[in-house]
A and B are shown apart, each in its own frame.
Chain A
Amino acid sequence: MLAYIENFIKYKSLLNELIIRDIKTRYRRSVMGVLWSLLNPLCQMIVLSIMFSNIFKSDIENFPLYILSGQVIFNFFSESTNNAMSAIIDNTSLIKKTYIPKYLFVLSRIMSSAVNLLASFAALIVVMLLTRTEFHIAVLLSFLPMLLIVLFTIGVGLILAAYVVKFRDIAHLYGILVTTILYLTPIIYPMSMISGIVKKIVWLNPLTNIVIMFRNLALNGILPGVFSILLACMECIVVIFVGLYVFYKKQDSFILNL
């Protein structure tokens, strides 16, 4: 265990460099550069606001913000897991030629997406300011669900990255799965709108808990219950452990399948 931590410290600067590389290559040759991280979610949010305040009216108070807050969490999940999934395949040449702890590639992808998560959170705040939404002190705590979703995606990303090397179909299957998850998370609908078996399935989705926690903290100033915090932490720990285990078992065979 100690050896692993030592190794991690040795390669900490590599993790930094990889994160910087991911962000830099994403915005290479664009005039606005890193500003897109902020502008992209902001523009999306403006479109959504116009759409939902004029075309689809809902009885939820401040419906655009309701959607936007859910999207902050979900978009991060979808983007970072997709990026993490291809982390090993995209770095084939490095993995074949040099020894580097391979989980670093997955981690760097998720961390660079986490920078986007912060940017879209900032964009959410900007929209809240523009729409003169009331701010609660609890908004400061919205970093907790953000941290939880990052931890959760690290686990998911490790699992995906490990399996997709051998089974390339997963990349396509996962696209369908993400769309399914999108509709099984209360992002465009409130929990009160669903009932019965669907409601149970939606509650079983780990994202639901985190999205609701985030939304309550950021918009409504409602603190999460102890149960939901414990549940989210448990889910993160389990997923990360499974992810590390799977990745650890599979990593030596990556080079044979790349």
Chain B
Amino acid sequence: MSELMIEIKEVSIRFKLEKEGVNSIKEYILFKMKRKVKYDELWALKNVSFQIKQGDSVGLLGFNGSGKSTLLKVIAGVLKPTKGEVKIYGTIAPLIELGAGFDFDLTGRENVFLNGSILGYSRKQMMKYYDDIVEFSELSEFMDIPVKNYSSGMLSRLAFSIATIGKPDILIIDEVLSVGDFRFQQKCEWRIQNMISDKTTVLFVSHSIEQVKTICKRAVWLEQGQVKMIGTSEKIGNLYEGS
């Protein structure tokens, strides 16, 4: 039987939109005194619950502002839910935004080690993966120049290669396959498929319904922070396309 990997129980997230940015001590004290700190509330997620099992690949669909990225951030542990609970069983490789861990002044090589350690790998482990990363990203001539001189395609190639090394139990991918040329996108898709058949659980966000259909078995449709529908990616994809 496949094991439970991600369990999301009635997760809600509230953002306080401060009408007037209270960003200094003076303002804070003044506002507190007048009891005028007023917030607009925004529930980015409302009572979202679902479960993901090992080896599953789930696509998140929804329009802009439907809470997809917020949900991924909650799962990755970046945001804490206001209510509810997220349980993760296993290691997680978040690829929430490409190049998030890059220091643009460092070279490609140095960034490989920096990003590897962000994902929780030791320097020794990274030494083993290093050649594989360089080969997959096809950047062997550029590893010793600072990343700030990379093109955006090169950046995303390197970031993707680093994030998909090793065997994370859970891989989170947010809109990252939209960059890079057609050939590289295909390579990435193959790699993700391989990881799925290798029992990695994949959570995937994309605006490309086609990609969700090809990569994911299941899909979750979010609308205004709530789960609208869960089902096979084929079915949800078609319904979403028609809406």
Q: Are B105 and A98 in contact (CB under 8 A)?
A: no
Q: Interface stretch among A7-15, A58-66, A241-249?
A: A7-15
A56 proximity list for chain B (CB < 8 A): none
Cβ-neighbour of B15 out of A14, A17, A25, A256 (below 8 A): A256
B120 proximity list for chain A (CB < 8 A): 10-11, 14
The smallest beta-carbon distance between B45 and chain A, in angstroms, is: 15
Q: If A17-B113, A256-B15 touch, does A168 touch B97 (CB 8 Å cutoff)?
A: no
Q: Are A13 and B80 in contact (CB under 8 A)?
A: no
Is A134 an interface position by the 8 A CB rule?
no
Cβ-neighbour of A14 out of B97, B100, B110, B117 (below 8 A): B117
Cβ-neighbour of A98 out of B16, B23, B110, B118 (below 8 A): B118
Q: Are A21 and B78 in contact (CB under 8 A)?
A: no
Cβ-neighbour of A97 out of B96, B103, B117 (below 8 A): B96
B103 proximity list for chain A (CB < 8 A): 21, 25
* Complex interface bits, B109-132 against A, C-beta within 8 A gives 1, otherwise 0: 010011001101111000000000
Q: If A97-B100, A255-B79, A256-B16 touch, does A21 touch B114 (CB 8 Å cutoff)?
A: yes
Cβ-neighbour of A167 out of B15, B16, B28, B105 (below 8 A): B28
Q: Are A97 and B106 in contact (CB under 8 A)?
A: no
- Which residue in chain A gives the minimum CB-CB distance to B80? A252
Is A16 an interface position by the 8 A CB rule?
yes
B97 proximity list for chain A (CB < 8 A): 93, 97
Cα A13 to Cα B23 with chains together (Å): 35
Is A43 an interface position by the 8 A CB rule?
no
Q: Mind listing 5 A-B residue pairs with CB under 8 Å?
A: A10-B120, A13-B121, A21-B103, A25-B106, A169-B26
B-contacting residues of A (Cβ < 8 Å)?
Answer: 10-11, 13-14, 16-18, 21, 24-25, 28, 93-100, 166-170, 252, 255-256
A-contacting residues of B (Cβ < 8 Å)?
Answer: 15-16, 23-26, 28, 76-80, 92, 94, 96-97, 100-101, 103, 105-106, 110, 113-114, 117-118, 120-123
